[in-house]
Each structure stands twice: as C-alpha cells, then as structure tokens.
Structure 1
Amino acid sequence: MPHLSRRQVLSLIPATGLLAATASPSRAAAVDHARLLANTLAIFAGTPEVNARPEVAGKLAAILAAARQRLTAMDQAGDGELFAGLRLGADDANLRLAYQYLYEIALATRAPGSALLDDATAQQRVADGLRWLHERYFGDQSAGYYGNWHNWEIGIPTHVSRTLVLLPEGLRGDLTATYLTSMDAYLRSGKNGDVDLDSRFHTGANLADITANRILQGALTADDARVTKAIADQATVFATIDPYRLQHGVTDGYYRDGSFIQHHSVAYTGSYGRILLTRVVQTLKMLEGVAAGGAQDLPGVVYRWIADGFAPLIFEGWMMEIVKGRAVSRTSSGYTDIGVVIEAIADLADHVEDALPLRKYLKFLPAADTASFVSPVSIARYAAIRADTTVPAADLNPAERCVAFNAMDRTVHRRPGYAFALARSSERISKYEYMNGENLMPWFQGDGAYYLYLAGEDQREAFGVDYYTAVSPYRLAGVTAPVEERRTVPDLYGRFWYENPGHPLNFTSSSESQNTYVYFPRAGNAFSGGATLGAYGVAGMVQSDDAAYTAKQAGLLPDDFVAYRNARATKSWFMFDDEIVVLAAGVSGQGGRDVVTTVDSRIAAPADAVTLTGERWDGQAWQPGTSAPRWLRYANGTRGTAVGYAFLTSQPVTAGLETVTRSRRAVRTSNPDTPITKNVFTAAIGTSAFAYALVPNATEADLRAYRGGPLTVLANDRHVQAVKHKALGIVACNVFADGPPRPVERLLVDGPASVLVRSAGGRTTVALSDPTMKRERVSVVVHGARLRLDSADEGVTVRRVPGGTLIQATTHQSYGRTFTATLH
C-alpha cells in the first residue's frame, strides 16, 4: 500500500476539498449537502432495512434505553440542572455530558424501529435543552472555556453538530446559526474561528475530530466553503509523516514503519490512533456521492494503517498496552479497545479495491462486542462478513513477525504461542504520558517495560488496568528503577497539573511547558531503536533522565517543581523463536541509591494454582532466598500458562509471590474506588550487569536444555552487547559506542548500530540500522570467505576489503529503518 506525501494526498482529495484549498469560498465546488446529511443520519441512526435485522436489535434497544434514561433525568432535574445530578457551571466534563445526553435522546427519535421514532415531544425537549444550555453555560465566552480545552473545542461541538443533524429541520430554527457562531469562537487554538494547520492542537486525531464536525456544520448551513475546507484540512492526516520534511511542524500521525504519534511524542496507536481511524472512515462514508471527483487511493492508505500499524499490536483480539498512553489506567479492556477498530475495518471493506484480506481478518479476530460500535449499519455489515462461509479466517499478520516501530520507540515480536511488546523512549519519544489524573504512576513505562502475552489466555487476567493497579510502578516487567518512593502529580501540587503562570515558562494546564515537563516528558538519550531480519529482531536503549530532571538541574524550572533522577542502564533485547534474550550493563541507581531490574511481574487471581520452581547452577532445586538460580519457571495451572527464565549469567535473583489488594483509583482518580486482589509474582535482579532469556510457554525440560543450549553471550558492557544463537545461525549485536569499529564474533561493526547476521543454506544475510537516527551511514565487515552479493536494499553497497566483505548502508534520513543485504 502507498506511502503518501502531502502533495500526493492533495492530488487525491475529492474536487470539493481540492478547490477549497486553492480557491476563494465563493468559488468552492458545489456540494450535495442533503446527501451528506442523509449519509450521516444513516451512519448514526441506521436505516429501516438495517435496523430490522436481528443483529441490530441490541444496538437499537441500547439507543432507546439510553434516551429514556436521559428523559427521566430531565424530568427529575432540580434548579440549575438540565439532567438530575449533573451540576453545571463549574465542571466542563458535566457540561459535555449534558450535550451527550441530548444527542442520545435525539438519536432515538431518528432511529428506525425505535419506539421514540419521530417523537415530536422528545425532539422539542432536545431543541429546548440546546437553547437552555447555550443561554446559561455555553454562549458566554467570558464565562466559558474553563477546565479541559478538548471539551470546548472538540467534545461539546461533536455532540452539538450531530444533534443538529438529527433534529428535524423545522426545529433547528436559529439554533444552528447560534451554535456555529459560538463554536467558531471557542475554536481558540485555531485561527479566525477555523482550523489552523500550524496550531499544535490541530493535529492527528484532534484535527480529524474538529474537521468532521465542521463538515457537518457546513452541510447544515449549505456552506460549500466550510465543507470543502474541512475536507481539505482533514485530508492532510492521510499523509505519511516525514520527520525530515515536516508540514506545519506536525509530528503527529502515521509514519512509514506503521508508528502512530499523538501529542507530538507519545506512542498512541491504541487510543488516539483508533480515534483517528474511526473518524476518517466515517468521513469516507459521509462523503459517498456528495461531490464530483474521488479519493480512490485514500482507502488504500487507511488499509496500510491497519495492516502495518494496528494488526501487529492486536494479539488475539487484545490491544497491547505499549501504545495506549495514559489510557492504560482506564477500566476498559484491550478487548473493548479494538471494537471501533473492527467497526472501521468492516466499513473500510466497502471502499478498498481488494477487501478479501480485511474480511478474512474480521473472521480471524475473536467476535467483537458490537455494543461498542457507533453505527447500526456497521453492525449489520460486520455480522454479514462473520456469517459469510465463503470467507476463511486469516490473520493480517504472518504467523511469525517482528516489527520495529522505531519511529515511536516500540518493538513487537510475534510467534504462534505468544507476543512480546517492548516500550522504549528517547530524545524523540516520551517516557510516559500522564494527564488529567490518569496514569498517576507512569514513571518507568518507557524505560524498557515489556509485556509477554501468552496465547489462549484471557488477557484481562494478566494485564490491563489490574496489572498497573496490583504491580508496583517500580516493578513493571523489564524496568530498571532506583529504590525510592515518588509522589503523583496531584499529591505534589494539589491539582492535576503544575501551576505557575508567573514563571517565564508559563506553567498552565495546557501550556507547552506542561506538556514538556509534566504530561509527557521525553528522555535524553539518542540510542533507542533496532533492526529486524525477517521474523527476528534486536533492539537497544540507553536509559537516561527525562527532560524535566535535566531542565531542573540546569536551573530552568521553578524551585517548587519536583523532578526525579532516573537510574542508568544500557540494555538490549534479542528476539528469536523460543526466547527473548535480555542483556543489561552499566546498571546504576545514581547518587548512591540502590537499583532493581525486574525480570518479570505477573498477576493472577488469588485462587489460581500458581507455582514457582527453579534449579540452581549446581543442579539442585532452587528455593527462594537460596543461591542464584540457573532457571526459574512461573506456572499458572488454573489458566494452563507458564513462563520460564533462563539465566545466562550467575547472580542473586529475588523471586516470590505476594497477595496485593489495591483500589483501581490508585492509578486513575476517576476510576471507581474498587479494590482488586491479585496474586503478584515478581522476579528481580540487583546487580550491575546480567543476561537472561524469557522463555514463553516453557517446560522444566525446556529450561534445563539451556545449560548447554544454543545461546552464547558474546559481549555485555556499555559499549557492545551481543549474543549468538547457534541453532539459528544468528549473531546479533548493539554497538553503543562510536569511534573505532568493534569486533563481535566474525564481525567488525562501525557503531552506533544494531546488526543481525544470519548464515544458513550457504547464504549470509545482514541487517543493520542506525538506532540514533543521526548517522550518515552504518557499516559492518564480515570476516572470512569472499562473499558475493545476491540482493540488497536501495542504499546498501557491498565490496571486498582485506580479510572480509564490507556491507555499508546509507542511513541518512532513514529514521531507524533496517537495511538488508543477502550474500553467498
């Protein structure tokens, strides 16, 4: 599927959007506004034919039940309320909810088959409610815009725009013009009441939301210019982000390697990325038959988002934690997270030239709970695909796949029995995201935290919000953390952000300084990346302080601003078939602090039959508190799962089980105060250098085999980390140091670099990348027999040098991409 530049995207926009980008409003192409509104009505309310289908009955019942509940709340409202219990005037979230409730009533009056269909009384109450809210709480610009900017510029306008579409034209009256004036005025992050592509707020999913609203607003007022400009503005999100040629300074969006960034530096496919996906697919449906021209290749771009961006991150129907930002602390599960993704895939299948792979994928994924679908039409379409016996089930992922999302510092390694997901950080990508009282203890989530998903397991029992609730934030699997106690932002400052508008950096709730130092601070290291060779991979990272600590030491931040110093470590992960090998060196707590590296933390229900077994280096059975283990095995007999840990170096390992009870509110202030109890397994190392292998689904016999097994640690220090897998014929390494080339086995590597070399079947394949994303070229010399080139990626050259063969890749502006060459 294509990677499109902004210029290519503009060439594919329907004539309406293209003219809006180049012509004055008076010359904008004509739009069939009635068709656009009818399409939108069908998306949200369904059609008589669709709503009569049995698969849609549940959705229709939910629409009706929500409306009746809201009408009852209106009947019971007290003074100053539109809905009972929803106090207005100081809480912007409550105001957004009030508009949402009006939308839900209006939806039930337009959904064919609903008992409230065309109910004039209910519709009048919606219109009156819109007028009442505007007069008291939305129309006064001087009193509004408190709290979260998103509610005023996106949340409320979304509900208002859709509600106006749902109301009969005769009831809209002056409401449309009144609200458009106010919504334009509240678009303060824009320009002259419109989208500003140079605004840091008008990017990615936020831009898609704002422009979708403005398309509807233009259709309601028959304003061709508003519609066409909104289409053109939204179309910019289809362009693949080129970090070396940014448009409007925007880093948010999809990258060539499938990465998705929102908030400038947060890996966010699993939250904002899916919002963007569903919004642009809805726009494609809204615009069907609306104007001349076409956007035939844009659905192909979205297909690539799904195949390269979403599919690797969805394991047996679960959205992985590494791309969810602060949403990891929410009570919705990874299964429900993909509901809107599945809906978008089902809808997209009607727009792409070859829809069969998408239909196969929908059959392959576990059946979705269609209650999370937005559109009744989508439910019917999805049900038809699932029921089609001529479509076989097939994953969009190969059975074996390793994906380096280097543009967002993430790696995913998949095998039929498991998936391994790794979260890194750098000077380009944030260590974590905290905001609005969500993800209260995120400090180490980008410091090499990893998640090992086992096939056939209910991932709600292993990960999700309960994992972050029960497991200490200092003991997330894979994390190296200093031994200390930190305080959350609300504990430190008494609010959800740090407030100091008088400081030169102007700390307010949505300021750039708040983003940089509180909400999603970046790291300070350049080395974070890796390479893939077929289905195998290597990744590395140098752990550093975040931007806040660095700035505090430089005297740039206020005295009362609290910043925490991080531990140090140089780490590598080598991903093979049966194991993931982890190396660490230079591990230090800094400033005299102790430091702990967590090999793994796993949760289980208290009643689960959990066992922990192991063996010492002398072959005797290991017991907690005894000498260093050669291997450990954690098994959950109730769930039929197991993970093994084969230690390749000898060092003390603290391992054990603990029953933990904690409220979900510990990780998110708005979570229900629901205590959960989990049996928590933790294994940790306190030494400065070590090597071990994670072995998914291991038996004790599998772990004993590592005594003379295929793995050899070739180097493990702050300069070079390398392993050899004899059975696979692979040598893999990270060279962290620059300067003279470093010898690794029969290789001579010019660092910094990530390298894999595999020799099999008389051929040698070399894969290399620049994890710093700063080098002009990376090279490796393979010593030994004269090798001849079979094939190579563009930018790779091969030539004979004394004693071996030089493979060199031009990595200038490649943003961590892997280059390969095959020789014989």
Structure 2
Amino acid sequence: MKGLILFLLSFALVMAKAQNSDTFVRIKKHVYDDELSGPLPNADKTLSLCNQLRADGTWADIDYSSKSISLWPPGEHLDRLRTLIVAYVSPQSASYQQKSLYDKILLAAQYWANNRFESSNWWHNEIASPKAIGVCLILMKFGKEKIPTTLETPLVELMKRGDPYTKTGANKSDIAMHYFYRALILEDENLLAAAMEQLLFPIQLVNGKEGLQYDFSYLQHGPQLYIAGYGEEFLKGISKVMSYVRETPYAVDMKRLGLFEHFLTETYLPIIRSRYIDFNVHGRGISRPNILEKTQETAILQQMKLIDPAKNTIWNKALAKLDSVQAFDAEHIEVHRHYWKGDYTTHLRKQFHFNVRLASSRTNKSESGNGENVLGRNMSDGVTNIQVFGPEYYNIMPVWEWDKIPGTTTRDYPGDLELKEQWGALAANNFAGGVSNDKTGASAMSVQYDGVKAQKAWFFFDREIVCLGAGIHCAAPEAVVTTLNQTWLNGPVVWNGKEMSALDSVQRSVKVGDFITHNNVLYYFPAAMNVGLTTKDQVGSWYRINRSRSKDVVHGKVFKLWFDHAVAPNNASYAYIVVPGIKTVDTKAMQQLKIWQNTSDIQAVEHKGSRILQIVCYQAGTYQVGDWSLKLDQPAIIQLSMREATSMQLDLADPLQRAKTVKVQLVNKQLRVNQSLEVSLPQGEYAGSTVSNQIAIGKK
C-alpha cells in the first residue's frame, strides 16, 4: 500500500511537471506567433546585415561607445540581431533555418554577451535592452539550431536589470515584461508567477498616483497627463502579455480585463481621429517625429481579438478607424467627457474633435526631460486640439511658434524660450475643472503662469464651442496674445465669406459678427477684437525641440490666428466661437448663442436652441444670468439643461476639489423656479466629478 501511494505521488508530480512544461511551450509559441505577425524582414536587408557584420560581431556604423540618453546607438545592435533571428525562424523567409545565417546570429549575440553596454538613460539599461534580449532568445527556441547554453546563460544574466517592485505604471509593466521573458526562457514557475503579478498589478484604479485613474485618464511622472506615451505603453505591454497567457492558468481575470478594456475603448481609442491622436496627451513625446500617427495600435487590437473574441465587433470597428482607406468622419460619436483627475476635456463628434488640456495645483504641467520638449512651457495652459480631418497638427511642432500654442493666453516673446523645469511641476492655480452630462459641458481654468493671469473657459454645446477669457493681466514688457489656432495651412482663408488665399500677414480689428473659415473650421467673433493672422512659411528643426533629433531644416506654411491684447493688459477679455466641420457661417445658429457674462468672477453662455445654460463661477456670490438669479457659497461650474416641460437637470462640479457641499439658490420668475439646494459633492477619488440634481419647473 505504501508503495502504491509513493507511486501515485510520483506519477502526480510527473504529470504536474508535464502540464507546467506544456504551459511554458504554449506561452512561448504565442510569443513566437506574435513576433512573426508583422512584415518579414526584406531579404536584401537580411543579406546586407549579414555581409556588413564584421568578424568580431559588430557593425561598423554603430557607435558602441555612445551613452546617449534618447536615441541610443548600441540598441540598434539588438534590433538588427532580432531582424536576423526573425529571418532565420520564419518559415516564410528565404533564409529560413540557413546555417550561414545561424552563424551570423551567434557572432552578433556573442559580442553583446561579452560586453555590458550602458546608456546614461536608465530606460535603455533596465527596460529596452533586457526586453530585446528576451525576445531574441525566445524566438531562437524555434530555430533548427538553438542558442548554446554557454551563450544563452550570459545573455540571460544581462537581462537581470531593473526592479518592477520599485516602479509604477507603465515602467513597472515594462520591467516585469522582461522578467516574464526570462521566466519563459528558464521555464521558472516562481519567476513567471512573480512577473505575472507585477505585469497585471497596474490594471487597477489609483487616486492621483501614477497609473490608471478613477476618471480613466492615465498619469505618469507624477500626476501628469499621459494617456498616450506611458498610457500607450501600458496598453501595448499588457495587451501583449494577456494574449501570451490566454487559455492558460495565468490568464487575466474578468475584473482586470474590464478595467483595461474600458481605458482602451472609452478613453484611448476615441481621441484618435482618422489615425491621428490629440497632441495634448503625449507629454514630451510630441517632440518626436511621426508620434501622432497611430498605426501600431493595430497590434493591440489584433491581440484583443485573441483575448476577448466576444467583442470582435468592437475590435474590428476600431481597426477600420485606423485604416487609412476609411473616411475621416466615418465614426459616429457624440461624447463629452471631463477627466477630473487628469485636468483634460474631450468633446467628440462625427464631424470633429475639440479637446482641452488644463493644469492645476493637483496636476503637473507638461514636462521637459532627456532633452525633449524643450520649448513646451505653455503646453498645459488651456491648450486646444481642433481636428476635423485628423492630421492638422501632424509633425508641425518643429515649426511652431511656441508662445502661440493653440488655445493659450501667453506673453509674445521675440523668440521661443526653453522650459527650465524638468520632469514636470505642479501648476500654480487651484481652479481648474469641468462639468459634463456626457453629451455637453463646460470647462475652465484660472491661468497663473509666467506673469500672466487669466480666467479661461470653454462652453461645449453640440456643434459649437464658445471660448471666453477675462481678467487678463500681465505687467511684463511683452504683449499678451490669445491664440485661436496654429495649424498647417490647408486651403484658402476666407474672411466674412470672401476668399483671401493670397494672404500672408494681416493685423486688423474685427467687428461683432465677423468670421474666418479655414480648413473646414469656423472662427466667429461675437465681440470686437484686434486680430493677427499669418499664413507664412515657418522654419524650424526637430533638434530645436528635441536635442536627440535631426538639425535638418523643416518648413511649411502655417495658419496662425490670434488676439492681440497689447502690452500690460489689465482686466482684458476675449470671446470667440469655434464651429469645426463646416465651411461657412450659419447666422441663425450663431444667434442661438448668448454670452451673458464674461468677467473675472463669472462667465456664462446660453444655447437658446438647446435650452442649455452653462456658468463658471470663480467666486462665491450672487449673480444675474439672463432670467436666472444665482447664489452660491462656493466656486462651481454649472450646467442647467431643460429635460422636459416640468423639470430641468442641474449638473455641478467643484473645480477646487475641496468642498464637501455647495449651497445653491436658483431663481427664475419666467419658469417659476425658486429653489435652494445643498448639493453634496463627490469626495476622495471622485472629487471634482459632476453631480446631478433635478430642478422642478413651475413650482415655488
């Protein structure tokens, strides 16, 4: 009997080990399939790399001594090694399983194993290089001839860099990913379990810390908006690993999958317009060429089809959106969201996207670091992204005038100044926020930066966005300007219905009711203002904004439109209405909009057609807004929407995110409303989000 028990125990151990081995084989095969899913290396390129590889395992054109922090030349060695390996292990390759190619792979791999190359940027040392080694070693498991243990062992030792337990957000996932690769190479169950725990750990909601927020924005490098960039790396890395471990005991649970999919489908994908993402969400990454065009996201979506095939309708629809063949306005969307943790607002329609980047004492302004985004001083001060076609801002950054970023109110310097603070710093202003009912809303920010003070607000109705500024003050010697847009010139500029395509530079005073159209965007002026406009060729370079990029001259014609508030403005203001997606003004639609207030204390706009009133109150007090008398004991952003004949909806948000309640008294004699409310405000992780109440009409 004892012998039988020992036999059964031994048999169970053998079976468990076999099952574990099968799991490792399955996961490695998923990695192999994923890595070979893209285009095969060009046969000529493979041959050229082989011919250029020297006897010592190096390529002559790579500077192996470089310690560059951004584009690190030695990393190219591992990229080329992977190219050779893919050509060797892919059955579709002309070089499949060729002994001569295998010998070149060993030569290049041995050179890397014999050295310990270091960049001055920890990211290359602790993330990029270990991940690249891991992919190469896993792929070689599928070669006719394998990497010898005497070579694999030192390469695996080079992967032992970085500690995921000390990192957050996307950095945690990236380091854990090469722990995951190392576990597969060694078939180490304990290491795989630890790697999976750290890989999936970022799929949780956090309150202001780095990572995925309760409003489903994404923050990294402190409380800094990074929906793309680090948020994108979060999506890429975790979708990969979830697809690798599908149908195994390590598969992701449904709760985490739901959070991940919500961020992907409700936050990230919607702000891509015809393959081009909002430049506001990329942090310092906007100083990199081609960064706004999103083509690699197709890999995420293909992986989601493997992970959650029940949602293939959603994934296929998103893939079509990234297909350049699909029309720019093919997506039917009608969404307004304010991200109270990220200080970011999106207003998305089939005809256009209009998004705003804010900042507050709770969030970091856009960062400079590693010599990137060196001119991005004003990239968080009410920056507006207006897209109709998608590529309006694609690769424009080298030629931008950086003190005229779209949407901002700034000092107009003779030349662009560098951003001195590195890695982001909290904004000085406390007031920043937005109210939303998911379809319409209002956002506002009290700018306090570089000697400029301004109360800036955006009122989002369906197709129209009313942009107001008040209390503009600056004692500096430079003129102060508010920039409506700075985008690639595409087609004629039309003033009051008359084409002026030969326009080069104009300064003029616009009257009430004047308008400009350019590239299917209308700019309407409900108040007289001094306007500047240029359509000139602007010149720059990528090096100008990113010290690791080319100094080659970049140029192109740019449409740049701004208000001139002159030198030392004191309590200056502005007003303009943007209607993207149209070529001419609809006078009746403009008459539906009524700007009731535009002061440093209150800004208020009503859309009479939609029966929506939006109000930004920077101070507690009593205010008159049309037929409404309004009294508040706290600053607030409010939206009143007529829902039916007997009630309306009051949406309210606390832009300071400090109060527990706000007392509101609403009086409207015409509608027979006289109501006092004490509105309980969301707290903790939801502080700043919108709370809604119903207001009865016709009752006192």
TM-score tier (shorter)? 0.7 to 0.9
Q: Which of residues 655, 663, 668 is equivalent to 2:541?
A: 663
Over residues 320-365 of structure 1, what are the superposed CA-to-partner deviations in whole Å (9 max), with x where a residue is unaligned? 1111112212221533x2x232321232123227314414523641
Q: CA RMSD in A?
A: 3.1
Paired residue type of 2:196: I
User: What is the DSSP-based 3-state SS (H/G/I as helix, E as strand, rest coil) of the residue aligned with 1:211?
Assistant: helix
Moved more, 623-632 or 122-131: 623-632
Q: Which moved more, 1:205-214 or 1:285-294?
A: 285-294
Matches within 5 A, 1:305-316: 305-316=263-274
- Secondary structure (helix, strand or coil) at the match of 1:109 reads helix
Deviations 1:20-67 (A, max 9, x none): xxxxxxx9x956322222221121125xxxxxxxxx7xx12x364553
Structure 1 contact 312–403 (Cα < 8 Å) conserved: no
1:142-161 map, 5 Å: 145-161=118-134
Mapped to 1, the partners of 2:611 and 2:357 lie a distance apart of 27
Quick check: 1:777 aligned with 2:661?
Answer: yes
Q: 1:363·1:394 contact (CA, 8 Å) conserved in 2?
A: no
For the residue of structure 2 that corresponds to 1:756, the secondary structure is strand
Q: Where does residue 399 of structure 2 map in the other structure?
A: 470
Offset at residue 734 of structure 1 (A): 1.4
How far apart are residue 536 of structure 1 and its match?
Answer: 0.5
Distance 1:624 1:217 in 2: 62
Give the direction of change, closer, same or farther, for the CA distance of 1:360–1:86 in structure 2 (3 Å limit).
Answer: closer
Is the counterpart of residue 438 in structure 1 residue 382 in structure 2?
A: no
- Determine the C-alpha separation between the residues in 1 that align with 2:315 and 2:356: 29
| Letter of the structure 2 residue corresponding to residue 181 of structure 1 | E
Name the residue aligned to 2:181: 216
Match of 2:35 in 1: 44
Amino acid at match of 1:645: Y
Change in 2 beyond 3 A, CA 1:182/1:269: same
Matched with 2:693 is 821
- Match in the other structure for 1:230: 195
Structure 2 match to 1:694 = 578
Unaligned runs of 5+ residues in structure 1 are: 1-26, 47-55, 139-143, 244-250, 370-385, 387-392, 493-497, 499-516, 546-564, 616-622, 789-801
> Does the C-alpha gap of structure 1 residues 624 and 281 become closer, same or farther in structure 2, counting only changes over 3 Å?
closer
Residue type of the alignment partner of 2:555: I
Partner residue, 2:341: 407
Q: Counterparts in 2 of 1:292-441, with a 5 A limit?
A: 295-332=253-290, 334-335=292-293, 337=294, 339-352=295-308, 354-362=310-318, 364-367=320-323, 399-441=333-375
Structure 2 contact 488–556 (Cα < 8 Å) conserved: no
Identify the match of residue 483 of structure 1 among 412, 423, 427.
Answer: 412
Percentage of identical aligned residues: 19
Q: Is the 8 A contact 1:357 1:394 kept in 2?
A: no
Q: Alpha carbons of 1:477 and 1:96: their partners in 2 closer, same or farther (altered >3 Å)?
A: same
Deviation at 1:452, TM superposition (A): 1.2
After superposition, give the CA deviation of every residue in 1:379-409 in whole Å (9 maximum; x if it has no partner).
xxxxxxx9xxxxxx998x7632111122211
Query: 2:452–2:472: 8 Å Cα contact kept in structure 1?
Result: yes
2:456 to 571, 574, 580: 571
1:350 is aligned with what amino acid?
L
1:239 maps to which of 204, 215, 239: 204
Q: Deviations over 1:501-560 (max 9, x none)?
A: xxxxxxxxxxxxxxxx31322211121110112411100101123xxxxxxxxxxxxxxx
Q: Which residue in 1 is equivalent to 2:555? A: 676
Residues in 2 aligned to 1:178 and 1:225: alpha-carbon distance in whole angstroms: 21
Q: Which residue of 1 aligns with 2:25?
A: 34
Distance 2:249 2:581 in 1: 55
SS in structure 2 of the partner of residue 278 of structure 1? helix
Secondary structure of 2:107's partner? helix
Shift of 1:666: 2.6
The residue number in structure 1 matching 2:233 is: 275
Deviations 1:157-205 (A, max 9, x none): 1111111112247424133332333332x42xx3xxxx32xx2xx2222
Partners of 1:786 and 1:807 in 2: CA distance: 23
Task: Check whether the contact 1:268–1:324 (CA below 8 A) recurs between aligned residues.
Answer: yes
1:309 aligned counterpart, secondary structure: helix
Residue 758 (structure 1) shift: 0.9
- Hey, what does 2:466 align to over in structure 1? 581
CA distance in 2, matches of 1:746, 1:364: 49
Residue number in structure 2 paired with 1:524:
428
Q: Does 1:105 align with 2:84?
A: yes
Aligned with 1:83: secondary structure? coil
Q: How many equivalent residue pairs?
A: 655
Q: Distance between the aligned counterparts of 1:632 and 1:155, measured in 2?
A: 54
Q: 1:207 to 1:642 in 2, by over 3 A?
A: same
After superposition, the C-alpha distances for 1:675-722 in whole angstroms (9 at most, x for unaligned) are: 22214332323161122211224455425863xx12222222222211
Question: CA 1:326–1:726 in structure 2 vs 1: closer, same or farther (change >3 Å)?
Answer: same
Task: Give the direction of change, closer, same or farther, for the CA distance of 1:760–1:221 in structure 2 (3 Å limit).
Answer: closer
- Relative to structure 1, the CA distance from residue 66 to residue 787 in structure 2 (aligned partners, 3 Å threshold; closer, same or farther) is farther
**Aligned CA distance change for structure 1 residues 660 and 810 (closer, same or farther; 3 Å):** closer
1:652 equivalenced with 2:628 (yes/no)? no
**Cα pair distance change 1:296/1:116, threshold 3 Å:** farther
Q: What amino acid is the match of 1:811?
A: P
Instruction: State the match for 1:721 in structure 2.
Output: 603
Change in 2 beyond 3 A, CA 1:400/1:779: farther
Q: CA offset at residue 625 of structure 1? A: 4.3
How far is the alpha carbon of 1:472 from its aligned partner?
Answer: 0.6
The runs of at least 4 consecutive aligned structure 1 residues that moved more than 4 Å come to 63-66, 485-489, 623-626, 698-701, 740-744, 784-788
Secondary structure of 1:731's match? strand
Tell me the secondary structure at the aligned position of residue 228 of structure 2: helix
CA–CA distance in structure 1, aligned partners of residues 338 and 171 of structure 2: 26
Greater share of helix:
1
The 1:747/1:328 distance shift into structure 2, 3 A limit, reads same
> 8 Å contact 2:433–2:688 — kept in the other structure?
yes
1:156, CA displacement in angstroms?
0.6
The 5-angstrom pairing of residues 281-292 of structure 1 reads 281-291=239-249
- Given candidates 743, 751, 757, the residue that maps to 2:640 is 757
**3-state SS of the aligned residue for 1:535?**
coil
For 1:230 and 1:756, how far apart are their aligned partners in 2?
A: 47
| 8 A contact 1:481–1:567 mirrored in 2 | yes
Tell me, yes or no, if the aligned pair for 1:252 and 1:263 is still in contact at 8 Å: yes
Contact map agreement 2:210 2:218 (CA 8 A) in 1: yes
Question: Using a 3 Å threshold, how does the CA distance of structure 1 residues 349 and 131 change in structure 2: closer, same or farther?
Answer: same
Residues of 2 paired with 1:753 and 1:601: CA distance?
31
The Cα of 1:288 is off from its aligned counterpart by 2.7
Task: Write the distance in 2 (CA, Å) between the matches of 1:302 and 1:394.
Answer: 26
CA contact (8 A) 1:588 1:594 kept: no
Q: Which residue of 2 aligns with 1:117?
A: 96
Alpha-carbon displacement from aligned partner over 1:742-768 (angstroms, at most 9, x marks no partner): 554333233321110012421201111
Shift in CA distance, 705/106, structure 1 to aligned 2, threshold 3 Å: closer
- Amino acid paired to 1:405: Y
TM-score of the two chains, using structure 2 as the length reference: 0.86
Supply the AA of the counterpart residue of 1:219. L
Contact kept? 1:779, 1:806, Cα under 8 Å: yes
- Residue 437 (structure 2) aligned to one of 510, 521, 533: 533
Q: Would the alpha carbon gap of residues 268 and 147 (structure 1) be closer, same or farther in structure 2, given more than 3 Å must change?
A: same
Q: In the TM superposition, what are the counterparts of 1:447-458 in structure 2 within 5 Å? A: 447-454=381-388, 457=389
Distance 1:72 1:309, change over 3 A: farther
* Letter of the 2:437 counterpart: L
Report the alpha carbon displacement of residue 661 of structure 1 after superposing the two structures with TM: 3.1
Q: CA deviation at 1:286?
A: 1.5
Contact in 1 for aligned 2:412/2:481 (Cα 8 Å) = yes
Counterparts in 2 of 1:652 and 1:229: CA distance versus 1, 3 Å: same
